[in-house]
């Protein structure tokens, strides 16, 4: 199932946070949104998982305008991991993961044996099955992040929207999560701050700067020294990963930054 943002704009209190963003995520592909803080990445994602209504434009999922269907119906197709996804109550890990089935259930309907097995499978994939009986508030940030990804997978979406999914994760779990995304077959739109991870996992990248899309293409096409300098304000040397062939960035301070830090 493909995902398409068609000239999506978001205006809040007279400020344009996202300006006519058009971006396509083909079915089964991973597209990353990158850009500096405040560039509109998370705002764009909120329009996809319907936490925010666009001021203009349309979000299409599989040819359907999301604004024309109910929230429960859209939640059966689109699952999200957000930056605000923490739990306020001390539910167990097992209970949090089971909440991913909510769009498919009615009222207090109990999970079937198959759904309980699905939850256990997702917890195993995210290496949190051993935490099933633990209260989620007792977990580390990285453990909690993996629990929330498991909840999203249990939702059985066809489109997965992830806002900084590697946040709080150690290197091993970062790589395991990204490998899981690659093998999932899902249509994935993901925000990543680590440009090297983005280059490794994403089929294509979109670069947002001050609310506008300034570049789009494969990681090799997008991640140039010039773009990193102009958009992120840092000097970088682009090298090729010796095993994968992916572009990788080696950073250094710009001369202007060096002057500022020496004052």
Collapse the DSSP code of 234 into the 3-class scheme (helix H, G, I; strand E, B; otherwise coil) and give the result: coil
For residue 64, the enclosing domain spans 3-217
* 71 occurs within a structural domain: yes
pLDDT of residue 234: 93
* 230 occurs within a structural domain: no
* 259 occurs within a structural domain: no
Cβ atoms within 10 Å, residue 98: 21
Cβ(103)–Cβ(131) under 8 Å? Answer: no
Cβ(28)–Cβ(186) under 8 Å? Answer: yes
List, run by run, the mean pLDDT of 10-residue segments along the chain (263 residues).
Answer: 97 96 97 96 97 96 95 95 74 96 89 97 96 95 94 96 93 93 95 96 97 97 96 95 94 59 48
pLDDT of residue 263: 46
Helix (H) or strand (E) holding 216: strand 212-217
pTM of the model: 0.92
CATH number, domain with residue 131:
3.40.50.300
pLDDT of residue 258: 52
Number of structural domains in the chain: 1
* 133 occurs within a structural domain: yes
* 212 occurs within a structural domain: yes
End-to-end C-alpha distance for the chain, whole angstroms: 53
pLDDT of residue 257: 52
3-state secondary structure 129-174: HHHCCCEHHHCCHHHHHHHHHHHHHHCCCCEEEEECCCCCCCHHHH
* 209 occurs within a structural domain: yes
Cβ(27)–Cβ(2) under 8 Å? Answer: yes
* 231 occurs within a structural domain: no
């Amino acid at each position: 199932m493909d995902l398409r943002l068609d000239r999506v704009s978001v205006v809040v209190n007279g400020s344009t946070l996202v300006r006519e963003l058009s971006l396509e995520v083909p079915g089964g592909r991973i597209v990353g949104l990158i850009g500096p803080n405040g560039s509109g990445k998370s705002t764009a994602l909120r329009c996809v998982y319907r936490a925010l209504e666009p001021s203009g434009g349309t979000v299409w999922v599989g040819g359907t305008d999301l604004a024309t269907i109910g929230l429960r119906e859209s939640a059966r197709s689109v699952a999200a991991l957000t930056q605000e996804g923490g739990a306020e109550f001390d539910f167990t890990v097992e209970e949090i993961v089971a909440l991913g089935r909510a769009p498919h259930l009615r009222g207090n309907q109990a999970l079937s044996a198959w759904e309980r097995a699905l939850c256990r499978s997702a917890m195993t994939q995210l290496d949190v099955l051993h935490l099933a009986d633990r209260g989620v508030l007792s977990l580390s940030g990285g453990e909690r992040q993996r629990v929330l990804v498991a909840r999203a997978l249990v939702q059985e979406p066809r489109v997965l929207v992830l806002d900084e999914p590697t946040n709080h994760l150690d290197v091993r779990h970062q790589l395991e999560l990204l490998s899981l995304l690659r093998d999932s077959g899902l249509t994935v739109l993901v925000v990543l701050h680590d440009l090297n991870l983005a280059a490794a996992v994403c089929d294509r990248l979109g670069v947002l700067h001050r609310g506008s899309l300034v570049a789009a293409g494969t990681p090799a096409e997008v991640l140039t020294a010039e773009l990193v300098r102009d958009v992120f304000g840092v000097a970088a040397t682009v090298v090729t990963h010796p095993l994968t062939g992916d572009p990788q960035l080696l950073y250094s301070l710009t001369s202007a930054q060096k002057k500022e830090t020496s004052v």
